[in-house]
């Protein structure tokens, strides 16, 4: 858990640093740092749904996969 928390802190610091370097604004960098993870969570939800739907009918491991 400590490693995960440390990675989270590193991610937030990196996002802020990159956003600040590109915008030159603490306000914009702070907004991007807070908004990006929220948007990413929503996108990840829809990605997971699409992934599950696409691979729901995938053959079991070891079975031949038909080629197009």
User: Which structure tokens are listed for 48?
Assistant: 């997971």
Q: What average pLDDT does the chain have?
A: 88
Q: Name the DSSP letter for residue 63.
A: S
Q: What CA–CA distance (Å, rounded) separates 17 from 13?
A: 6
Q: Whole-model pTM above 0.85?
A: no
Query: How sure is the predictor about 64, in pLDDT bands with cuts at 50, 70 and 90?
Result: low
pLDDT in the model for residue 66: 62
The share of the chain scoring above pLDDT 90, in percent, equals 72
Could you give the 3-state DSSP secondary structure of residue 68?
Answer: coil
Q: Mean of the pLDDT values across residues 3-20?
A: 94
Query: How sure is the predictor about 58, in pLDDT bands with cuts at 50, 70 and 90?
Result: low
């Amino acid at each position: 858990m400590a490693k995960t928390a440390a990675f989270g802190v590193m991610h937030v610091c990196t996002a802020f640093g990159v956003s600040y370097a590109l915008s030159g604004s603490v306000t914009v960098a702070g907004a991007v740092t807070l908004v990006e993870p929220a948007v990413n969570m929503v996108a990840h939800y829809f990605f997971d749904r699409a992934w599950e739907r696409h691979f729901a009918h995938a053959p079991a491991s070891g079975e031949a996969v038909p080629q197009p």
